[in-house]
Amino acid sequence: MAAKVFTKLAEVGVNVDMIVQASASTGTADISFTVPETAVKQVQDLLQNKHDELGYQSFDVNKSVGKVAVVGVGMKTHAGLAAKFFNALSDAGINVLMISTSEIRIAALVPLDQLDDAVRALHTAYGLDADQVEAVVYGGTGR
């Protein structure tokens, strides 16, 4: 079913970002994904109009969430950055609803009313609010 859903969304030009699928022992699957707020109505209409074709049981929309992310090429080479990310959110009392990672990004979906606090917590955790931010530059010759 995931292939059908995401194909239909692609056909109408909807940009899907975070995707999580959880399968149950009953043979069903829950699929969660994020789209830009401007696409929510389009996604709702598509899912309602294609219900029989897609064969899903139900869907829910939650507009009370926001996404926070840390991005950088050092994410794949520096141990402990994910721990720092989740500890910062946990210490700030922020509930993580969904997680997405790649080689250069860690993103979390959080309650919208905690989004600003999440940004501040991560900003502090990674030292971006320090008076003097030290930058390390790595150079190579390409050989």
Map out the domains of the chain as residue ranges.
2-54, 65-125
pLDDT at 131: 66
Please give the model's pTM, rounded to 2 decimal places: 0.79
Say which CATH class 2-54 falls into: alpha beta
User: What is the Cα 25 distance to its own chain's centre?
Assistant: 26
Residues 132, 71: Cα–Cα separation, whole Å: 20
N- to C-terminal Cα separation, the chain: 46
- pLDDT, tens digit, 9 for 90 and up, residues 77-130: 888 888 999 999 999 999 999 999 888 888 999 999 999 999 999 988 988 876
**Amino acid 136: pLDDT:** 45
The answer to whether 10 and 46 are in contact (CB under 8 A) is no
Chain segment 2-15, per-residue pLDDT in tens:
899 999 999 999 99
pLDDT in tens, 26-81: 888 899 999 999 999 999 999 999 999 998 889 999 999 999 988 888 777 888 88
CATH of 65-125, one of 3.40.50.1370, 3.40.630.10, 3.30.2130.10, 3.40.1000.10: 3.30.2130.10
| pLDDT confidence tier of residue 132, bands split at 50, 70 and 90 | low
Report helix, strand or coil for 89.
helix
Supply the pLDDT for residue 130: 67
* Res 15: pLDDT: 94
Are 96 and 108 in contact, with CB atoms under 8 Å apart? Answer: yes
Could you tell me where the DSSP H helices lie in 33-140?
A: 40-49, 51-54, 81-91, 115-125
